[in-house]
């Protein structure tokens, strides 16, 4: 019975996600779904990313948290559209929540939507939100074994961000194991090493985003 219920939930979510994909495609909006464990640096990365893009693109952010709106409040002064989703205990956002958030946005004047999912590397990987791609984030203090421990996320992702790279001299993070696990799971998965403290790798991240935004606009045309 439990398996049947889960299958029904996933199918209903997938159906709604397909509806959202069509809407976003018709508007030429690129949407990405950022997934990581708590404390990996997703919100800090957004604080760095938005100022580097907002002069050229119209951006919206969907903030997912179990409780509180603190991450959304951190981004409130950046002049972008923000919607906050509290899951009330659930470990992931579902596509119906994304639909409500999209209804609060002016989709005619958006180029990029970034979904910051609930801090969890397991459940969010299972749920399609209508996004163009999932971005997996891992921070060096978490350890190099997380890729092997949470394989679905890295199989589903189109990009991995290895954050807090500036801390490597102080940690026992084995990059050889990390990259070997990535190759074993998803040999085509690109990895960007970044640091929001030193700005290392941020230009490559911005270039990746801009290419995705432009490609989505081209497909619309």
Distance between the two ends of the chain, CA-based, in angstroms? Answer: 46
Widest pairwise Cα distance in the chain: 51
Q: Decide: 162 and 146 in contact? Cβ < 8 Å.
A: no
Q: What is the dihedral of CA 203, 204, 206, 210, to 10 degrees?
A: 130
Q: What pLDDT does 11 receive?
A: 85
Strand pairing partners for 162? 138, 193
Q: What pLDDT does 92 receive?
A: 76
Q: How far apart are CA 63 and CA 85, in angstroms?
A: 6
**By C-alpha distance, which of 5, 17, 153, 154 is closest to 94?**
17
Q: Kindly list the distances between the CA atom of residue 119 and the CA atoms of 11, 122, 125, 190, 209, in Å, as whole numbers in the listed order.
A: 23, 9, 11, 22, 22
Q: Kindly list the distances between the CA atom of residue 93 and the CA atoms of 7, 37, 130, in Å, as whole numbers in the listed order.
A: 17, 14, 12
Q: What pLDDT does 93 receive?
A: 87
Mean pLDDT by 10 residues, the chain (221 residues): 59 91 97 95 96 97 76 88 81 88 96 94 91 98 95 96 98 96 96 98 98 91 57
Q: How far apart are CA 196 and CA 47, in angstroms?
A: 9
Q: What pLDDT does 12 receive?
A: 86
Return the number of other C-beta atoms located less than 10 Å from residue 208's C-beta: 17
How is residue 176 written in tokens? 């050889």
pTM listed for this prediction = 0.93
Q: What pLDDT does 190 receive?
A: 97
Domains with residue ranges and CATH for the chain: 2-220 (3.40.50.300)
């Amino acid at each position: 019975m439990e398996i049947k219920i889960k299958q029904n939930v996933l199918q209903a979510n997938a159906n709604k996600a397909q509806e959202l994909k069509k809407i976003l495609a018709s508007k030429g909006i690129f949407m990405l779904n950022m997934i990581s464990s708590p404390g990996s640096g997703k919100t800090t990365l957004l604080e760095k990313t938005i100022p580097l893009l907002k002069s050229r693109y119209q951006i919206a952010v969907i903030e997912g948290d179990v409780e509180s709106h603190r991450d959304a409040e951190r981004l409130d002064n950046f002049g972008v559209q923000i919607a906050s989703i509290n899951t009330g205990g659930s470990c992931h956002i579902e596509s119906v929540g994304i639909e409500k958030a999209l209804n609060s946005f002016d989709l005619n004047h958006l180029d990029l939507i970034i979904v910051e999912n609930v801090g969890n590397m397991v459940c969010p990987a299972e749920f399609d939100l209508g996004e163009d791609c999932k971005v997996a984030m891992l921070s060096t203090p978490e350890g190099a074994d997380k890729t092997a421990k949470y394989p679905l996320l890295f199989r589903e992702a189109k990009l991995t961000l290895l954050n807090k790279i500036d801390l490597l001299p102080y940690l026992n993070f084995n990059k050889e194991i990390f990259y070997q696990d990535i190759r074993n799971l998803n040999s085509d998965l690109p990895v960007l090493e970044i640091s929001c403290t030193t700005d290392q790798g941020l230009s490559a991240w911005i270039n990746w985003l801009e290419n995705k935004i432009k490609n989505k606009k081209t497909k619309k045309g």
